[in-house]
Amino acid sequence: MFLKPVLYYIYQLLKVYAVALMVIPLTAVYQESKIWSHPALPSLNIFGMIKVYLLNFLWMGLTSVGCAILLPKYLLFGSVSVEHDSHCLMERVIAILITILVVGPVQIRNQEHNLPADGTPCIYVANHASQIDLAVVYFLFRKFKWIAKKSVLYLPGVGFLMFMSGHVFISRKKGKDKSVTVRRMYSEAKISLSKGVPMFLFPQGTRWMGSRLPFKDGAFNIAIDNEVPLIPISMDIPLSVWNDLYPLNIFWKKKNPVIITIHEAIPVKKGMDKEELKKKCYDVIYSVLPPVEKNE
């Protein structure tokens, strides 16, 4: 008698979860469409919207499977036991797989000379053009921690897998609550860096391609407080990335790759001028990216 209602509730929860997996990617399509609605960019066509939907559907679906695989270990041995597997296996493999299936090839430049060895405390900073950025950075094959909005926790699969990976979640609040959130972010970053795990931040704070947004302070405060180098990274997303026929045309047309350029590390010490660091990273990151149109 007891088992039947339990199974019923599990069934209902699975139905709700399945609906969420199908519906939530639509919000990602809307968000990505807004980015590409800038006059300097090609608006998403129907095929592009389908690919954005597929990328997010696959991401959430496959991370849900990853969560199910790691959950017994998490429950038996705690969060520390699954952190490496969650990030370096599940997140990485899923991100690379969906990039190959939906986005296309990724080319890494200066990896041999400028990419720090795994376990080197540093701050990766990159421009943030599209949700594609969140997937292609896993081609660096480095362990790191994101600083993400707390709302990401509620995404099916993605949220719990990121939680198991030990990423840092913050609330975007104002006033006193914001100061508490910022202090927690700096504290979590300090702990991560002390263990040799880099942080990965997009200092412009939001995704945008139509213009070059100014960098915010967070990444540079963390670097100065902990005296760790900044590693500037440029993300060059082809304008045809969504609207072309990839992967349907892989046998007769070469796909333009997403190009990730890793720049030389910028040493950081306490007392350095934060504004100068911001400008230096800004100039270095955008030095290899295509110029923004005049209607910026």
What pLDDT is attached to residue 295? 36
* Helix orientation angle between 158-165 and 46-77, rounded to the nearest 10 degrees: 50
* Residue 296 maps to a domain: no
* Residue 252 maps to a domain: yes
What pLDDT is attached to residue 6? 66
* Residue 173 maps to a domain: yes
CATH number at residue 114: 3.40.1130
What pLDDT is attached to residue 238? 94
C-alpha closest to that of 185 among 256, 105, 123, 118:
123
* Residue 59 maps to a domain: yes
List average pLDDT for each run of 10 residues in the chain, which is 296 residues long.
Answer: 67 82 94 92 95 97 96 93 95 97 96 93 96 96 92 92 93 66 88 95 89 92 96 96 93 92 96 94 95 54
* Residue 294 maps to a domain: no
- Bridge partners of 146? 200
Q: For the chain, how many structural domains are there in total?
A: 1
Burial 100-130 (b: 16+ CB within 10 A, else e): eebbbbbebeeeeeebbeeebbbbbbbbbbb
pTM value is: 0.91
* Residue 138 maps to a domain: yes
What pLDDT is attached to residue 287? 95
**Domain carrying residue 34:** 3-286
* Residue 278 maps to a domain: yes
What pLDDT is attached to residue 294? 41
* Residue 188 maps to a domain: yes
